[in-house]
Amino acid sequence: MRAAADVYALGLLLYLALCGRMPWHASTVTQMVRAHVCTSPSPMPVVLGLPPSVARPEKKPALPGRAGPEAP
């Protein structure tokens, strides 16, 4: 495992903690794995009370989104 895997996992945990759901909608483990590989995550909804740099910067995805699979 590389550090990128840890960053990715942290991004998913932040998304789940802030939004109360995973970035993909799936009813089975197989569908969730396929969603991780084949689809982009849904945008993070607006979370009231978060600083703008975390919640939704205009030019960049939300902080958990920046820790996604295509992030360096």
pLDDT(7) > 70: yes
> Tokens 């799936």 appear where?
26
| pTM score of the predicted model | 0.62
Number of domains in the chain: 1
Residue 45 included in any domain: yes
How far is the C-alpha of 16 from the C-alpha of 23, rounded, in Å? Answer: 8
How far is the C-alpha of 56 from the C-alpha of 26, rounded, in Å? Answer: 24
Which pLDDT score, from 0 to 100, does residue 59 have?
52
Residue 13 included in any domain: yes
Question: 25 with 54: CB under 8 angstroms?
Answer: no
Average pLDDT (6-16) is 87
How far is the C-alpha of 48 from the C-alpha of 31, rounded, in Å? Answer: 30
Residue 34 included in any domain: yes
Residue 66 included in any domain: no
Domain ranges, residue 26: 3-51
Banded model confidence at residue 72, pLDDT cuts 50, 70, 90: very low
Question: Could you read off the pLDDT of 13-70 as tens digits, one per residue?
Answer: 988 888 888 888 889 999 988 988 888 887 777 778 877 776 655 555 555 555 555 5
